[in-house]
Chain A
Amino acid sequence: MQVSFILPLYNQLALTRACLASLRATVPASVTHEIILIDNSSTDETREFLQELAPPHVVLLNDRNLGYAAANNRAARVAQGDFLALLNNDLVLEPHWLEPMLAAFASHPRAGVVGNIQLHATSGAVDHAGVVFCDGGYPVHHRGDLAELQAAGGITEFPAVTAACCLVRREWFLRASGFDEGYHNGFEDTDLCLRAREDGFINLVATHSVIRHHISSSAGRGAYEYRNARRFLARWAPRAAALEREWNLKLARDHAALAAQRYFAPLHRKLGFGHRALRRSHRAALMAERRARRASSGRIRIGIDLLRLQPGGANGGIKPFVLTFLAEIARQRGSEFNFALFAPAELRDELAAVLRPGDYLLEPAEGHFTVSLRQPKGWRAAGTLSLADNVAAKAGLDVLYAPFGTSQFMQPGLPCVSLIVDLLHRDLPAALPVEEVNHRHKWFTRVAAEATYFQCDSHYVIGRLCEQYGVNPALCFHTYNAVQDRFPATGSALPAGAPEEPFFFYPANFWPHKNHETLLVAYRLYAQAAASRAWPLVCTGHPDARMDLLRELRDGLGLSDRVIFLGHVRDEAFTALWARAGALVFPSLCEGFGMPLLEAMRFGVPIIAADSSALPEVAGDACVQVDARDPQALAETLRRVAIRTDLKDALIARGHARLAAFSLELEAGRLAHFLAAAARRQAP
């Protein structure tokens, strides 16, 4: 099915009837569709009217007024169409309104929310031709002359559009969790549009789609204006204000360019003057407009500082996370982006998959970087860069990406996106040597002051970063580490030493905050009680001195034959382990995200996780939460999950459903969006 029309209703039956009639009359016969009417507990004859309707109408009844956002979200969950057409019930749809909006998606692969032009139903004046911002980020309708708006282009980009009548892809709408139900009948649409921008989409107005709207006949908007505005501004104000400034600049530029063209073009034609004869101001206006257009479409060179990357698994989750994201960004925006990747030479083979022809690899050597150019087949040496030089400038970087947070290449004038994976040194300093706590604090302080944008791997981390280092939330964005698909679907043989029977699985490096000690004690309690029926415990992770210590502790507990430390495991063997695992146990005391949770969801493995840091945000209802500091509580949870089939099945099902919220395409798209915005110095 192509389109699901969604109309939330509350009273005003006459308007609803008229709107429906105009909709039925204007949907092209070739468009397969359904019309979802969701009633927010109307008190007039709406309910009786709805009883008469037959397919393609779908009627949903709410037993109380859920408000605009929740009603639409509920309808979206049952919708079947590729696109959702969100409509108010006080519209009068005009012939050929739908086709230009669908065409916008066809011609713009990155289209997010597509709106149209809405005329005042009685006066006929343009009431909406897009949403822009004024007064420091407050959303208002852009208005103007219909003919001029249409002359400016058939499809125009706007920061946002109204959802009185808009089109959006259902898949994205659901992934983005739809409208924010924290608003009450207002601002939901602008919030949605800004989230679409964050995910790397652009919002468009199809100017040849023109409809009429009975303005403000919808109930209950004004009452919540102040509350809604506060919620909106709290989240978006600085960013919306930047969009406002950018919009005003664009207006000024367009106006000057238009004036220059109008004034000069006729003279130019008539007299045959050369370019030099242009008045200086007109020439400047035309140049400025051309520059702006180029700036928003030219290629961007992204410097990526991976100098702290290590071979094998010593970096933990950050390595698969960053490499998978970079490969996805190259796939999505390869035509726009070039990478200049700084990394140790021994990682060249691992990085080859990320780099495309035209990308550079810069490897540190004595006193300089060796530069290699990626070519369709192999590499070409492209000289060296001395460390004494300004490497970032010489490498022609438009933006710097610092996946380890800080970077030696950070400098004034070079926009920088820093990845912040956790605030372990603040949240659990006891798990780090004091020198490391001080070192991290120092670089956090610097990055907080100097980075352009902050990529955090969960909302939890954003909250911690803003609270601990006073970072402006508008400069932060989250990208969930949705890299669960990097493992092959079918695995190799089980690694040597792994048990054949189901087991508790804990993949984590042996860092103190991963809490292996409490797990060992809890596991022993469980194993004592379950006796011969006890599942073994399998731990994987980069082998180091801590792993040797944990082996000693395991032996001291008398668990030598039940707890297995496998060391670092390759991807194929990981898949094999996931296929056999009985449950994931993830008792880490501090996580910015927790990638194994998504891997467990993907491979259908039930999850036991700590109830703190970012883990509840990631696992949601798809896990059993436990205070991981408490060995007795943890042991009881192990016991419960191992024996209760119904619980395991429920966890697996919920995990599977939850995976839909973690899409690599969207998460990486958001990073790409902020990298591009930083490089082009545009509002994100």
Chain B
Amino acid sequence: MQRIGVFVCWCGSNIAGTVDVAAVADALKNEPGVVFSTDYQYMCSQAGQDLIVSSVKEYSLTGLVICSCSPRMHEVTFRKTAAAAGLNPYMVEIANIREQCSWVHKEMPIGTEKAIILGKAAVAKVNLNAPLTPGESPVTKRALVIGGGIAGIQTALDIADAGFPVDIVEKKPTIGGKMAQLDKTFPTLDCAACILTPKMVDVAQHENVRIFSYSEVTDVKGFIGNFDVTIKKNARYVNEDICTGCGDCVTKCPQKKVPNEFNLGMDNRSAIYIPFAQAVPKVATIDPAHCTMLKTGKCGVCSKVCKAKAIDYTQKDEYITEKYGAIVVATGFDPISMDKFDEFAYSQSPDVITSLEFERLTNAAGPTAGKLLRPSDGEHPQKIVFVQCVGSRCDSCSEKGKEYCSKICCMYTAKHAMLTRDKYPDTEVYVFYIDVRTPGKNFDEFYRRAVEEYGVHYIKGMVGKVTPEGKKLMVRASDLLDGKQLNIDADLVVLAAAIEPDKSARSLATMLTASMDTNDFFTEAHPKLRPVESPTAGVFLSGTCQGPKDIPETVSQAGAAAAKVIGLLAKDKLKGNPCVASSDELMCNGCSSCEKVCPYGAITYEDKEFRMPDRTTRIRRVASVNPAVCQGCGCCTVACPSGAMDLRGFMNEQIMAEVDAICK
């Protein structure tokens, strides 16, 4: 019989505010096996932990129930406390009476009743706990970074500088991401290319970095320290190792009418293309959807002009499998589609553009070579209206946009407005905003300069409708401070479109078993204390895949993620999780149900000889679990038809005992 101690934490007023902790401690005193029960203000503090250690000695406790916050928060803490008191760390059970009780209930009697029930379930489970000892698993000292934007590049560089090999997988033909498309960067106005392209070169030349461009991750298996990742290298129909990036093929390609995605479709590129002059790797890629040779078998011009003989029309997608110890997600963002915002006439007039399109229009390497010209007629716009929060901060019930603030729009709009006034002082610039949000270093000063020095008209209010009329765009808006309706005959309207996570993020999250929020941003393990780790061990987050961020924030988070990865890869071995599955061979049918559902490939089968009751022997196929590979997810235990498979620390019997205790 266990001798169980129950420790009820107040968590200040977090728990004690809605749960009568003394009543909980008192009620649990009478549960089977409980010999000691008490409450304390902060159980996780030094004094609280000392109380646990001394009680273990005084009452010869063999098992502990801590009624406190979620085990995600402090299970590890209390396991260490148990170990310090001489108990096996797995003799501790947490009853979560904070997140699942005090925080969701308002009335003391209800909260108290539920806390007692949760405590009883934990006591029932501890009664059946057994000491467990973890095994060890080796760490593959190589990291994978998914996404080659500024976040991915910075993370890769930092890890590589620490001496560990890193692979970057980028789905586009070049790394660089969104930052490569930008013109200048706020608040210092240094040019994006000048600060990004050297980093792109650094990462490409780094001896510890491999770049898989035009590639994607298609499968992830394994676990922290031991991921097996399948990378699909899409056929670019050009031999990357031979191509010199001279661009002859691009010039000669007869198919020149392909919308150029790098310039957001504002000009055309050829079917064989290099996204931009500073692309890394600087190699050509054939777009199979538009290449005449690949579509009809007739053309072959690029192949003829290529001096390096790098063109290969027969190239196939290639799959590579590689082992990694850590995975960093840096999949970035995209501006949302403007399809649902018809009031701004985005689909009706080429002179209504998004801010990213504006970036390309003002970029020296863009479709207009940096001259701000109207897409419709190539004339200089005299009056520009910027609309903020298009699709950001929308009503939760609105189907159109996002509830969150996209965070970067206020600043880049200030930048756009300022730069326009700086270069073209004869241009009138209006910015319509809900609020201007500038909480960053030198941000507010930057915004005030736009208003005070550059004379940008900032108007609080939203644009209701944009109507194309002749060469003009009639902008109807309200000025909330003056209480007036405004009608502006603009030449160009720029929409600050909300940003959303890249579409590839969801399927990737599924592959990685990493969690996401309702907006498809990756979730952190803890929003404050573990902001660059995902709840899935060994998976880290870098950049806007986790939430809207500007470049300085992205780079600092990228460095933080790298630091976590380095910390992991520096270890030779990882202590495993002793809560692994095992099969009762006498009951196992060898049916393979468990093997089919095991996400880690931890289950194999062997033919084993069994002695039968009648003294004969029989050879039977039975499952065996590799404890070093098993991660204790428990899928097999529910798939097993006979109940032969069980999970240590979460035995079927323990779970049924908890259910019984709750239903009693």
Note whether A and B form a binding pair: no
